[in-house]
Amino acid sequence: MTRKIGIIGDGHVGSTVAHYIVTNGFADDLVLIDKNEAKVNADAIDFREAMPNLPFHTNITVNDYAALKDADVIISALGNIRLNDGAKEDRFSELAYNSEQVKSVAAKIRDSGFNGIIIAITNPVDVIASLYQQITGLPKKHVIGTGTLLDSARMKRAVAEKLNLDSRSVIGYNLGEHGNSQFTAWSTVRALDKPLTELAKERHLDLDALDNEARHGGYTIFKGKGYTSYGVATAAVRLAKVVLSDAHTVLPVSNYREDYDSYLSYPVVVGRDGVLDDVSLNLTDEEKEKLQNSADFIKTNFKKYSEK
């Protein structure tokens, strides 16, 4: 079966996503779309010139929305990073510009006849995922955001460094908004076959500091190089691979939560048909309150924007 992926937005993140896919042979056909025609055509040629030295071949199409009709997955990496506006670290500062771009792109995706899975990276990702779903008319389970799949990875990196472990040996989730109201659900985190809350007492770990590191890790990277790319691109490609292979993998991604009437990150089972099943976490009362606060934050801020 031919595997086809579309990437909309060929900036730092989109081109990193494309490079990861091409160099690993994750797709047979790749559609690259960007308003900057010179840049996207240059990348397409660059990828084609990489192929003689790769063990894989990828067919590349540029700026053709009609080619998305039979795509399995579309990854939305478009956007204008505005995390440096003043002193405020807030992904909602990107909403005004990004939502206008998404409205236009989503309509073109809808008109192409696309009926696959949309993976949103574009910030603020929980709201952007909702916009894509509303405009394309795709089932809610077919529109997913990378959400706290990235923030959970940041938490694992921070915890693993404190414990001198491979970050893949840490399990657990960050939940809620991919933004300031997210939080590490420490009741879900384990390492060395122990709950991290127990290890924290034994190893004198500061859980608040680790939670803060996960929440603000993206801004640290942004301040260093002006953008983030590798972490989120890898999260998006992993999610796309889970869909393509119908892997039925539990991932903390942004998905529509009927109980909160909002997109936010909470672990679900993901496969070829998008969100396949829910996962029931035994959260503490404090974590449940934080999750509700995060949902309220997303809805309140989106309402403020929509009323402008």
Binding residues for NAD(+): 9-14, 34, 98, 121-123
Coil vs helix vs strand at 233:
helix
Peptide bond into 195 cis (omega under 30): no
H helix count then E strand count, the chain: 9, 12
The catalytic residue among 178, 204, 216, 248 is 178
Q: Which residues are annotated as a binding site?
A: 9-14, 34, 98, 121-123
Note whether 280 and 288 are within 8 A (CB).
Answer: no
Closest by Cα among 274, 265, 267 to 247 = 274
With b for 16 or more beta-carbon neighbours within 10 A and e for fewer, the 222-246 pattern comes to beeeeebbebbbbbbbbbbbbbbee
In the residue annotation, 178 being an active-site residue is answered as yes
Among all residues, which ones are annotated catalytic?
Answer: 178
